[in-house]
Structure 1
């Protein structure tokens, strides 16, 4: 009997983009080996919106049905990583499923941070299945003028 493998179109798309980016010489988000391996092992990918205000970047991720303890947000070497897991419902012998469209299992999203993000002030809030990560901008370095002495 053959094993069935769940087709993940997002993983296929990610792999295709990865090959294209490498061939074109572009860096990909989350280029360290650990992050790439994690992204390949994920079962699904949550929808994310990224917005910018004058003082911050805001990332909003839809994570319905996920407990806060199952969500982890980390920053390492200028890459923000959102990861976690949605657990499937316990199987009920008296219930027959006719269709299952929701994704279960692990997920991960990584984002390269702009240079003007203050990594020490990143905040994450989770409420009603929405994760909101606020990345405050740091003050831009003011141009420094140096007078050149002519001798």
Structure 2
């Protein structure tokens, strides 16, 4: 059962993620008709909410995969902000329009996007790697080994 009405598009999952610091936009999937109201929600804003990111944890690392079709690595930034925040951002430019073109449908998003994730304490921030291949950005954040506490036996006298 989703906690958010399907009218607003719902979420991909209803699991609370304490590390995600994204802004949820309840109107992201709502299609506004061509009217004065649509000017309040320009097409350029749609990429901000539509960039999908998966985050998985392996024994060795945290791995983020973002779908960024059509973007070059020069158009994407991967940064670690203060307080252990991974930020993935970029911009997809609007296709140049010719006055002779007649558009029948515009569905591909354009504009700036940003996604932020608070990394856990075991992340090695100085060893983060990123690659972009076939429209998928992969960011790998290695994890520190968890040291098991050393157990010292104490002899009982008496």
TM-score, normalised on structure 1?
0.67
What whole-Å deviation, never above 9, does each CA across 1:7-58 have from its counterpart, x for those lacking one?
xx79xx9xxxxxxxxxxxxx7745xxxx98xxxx874331111122221111
Residues 99-110 of structure 1 correspond to what in structure 2 (within 5 A)?
99-110=105-116
- Equivalent pairs counted in the alignment come to 123
Closer/same/farther in 2, CA of residues 88 and 72 from structure 1, 3 Å limit: same
Larger Rg, first or second structure (1 or 2): 2
Q: Which has the higher helix share?
A: 1
Q: CA RMSD in A?
A: 3.1
Alignment-derived partner of residue 93 in structure 1: 99
2:87 is aligned with 1:81? yes
| SS, match of residue 44 in structure 1 | helix
Q: Which runs of 5+ in 2 are unaligned?
A: 1-7, 12-17, 24-44
Q: Tell me the distance in 1 between the aligned counterparts of 2:48 and 2:102.
A: 23
The runs of 4+ residues in structure 1 deviating greater than 3 Å are: 27-30, 41-45, 144-148
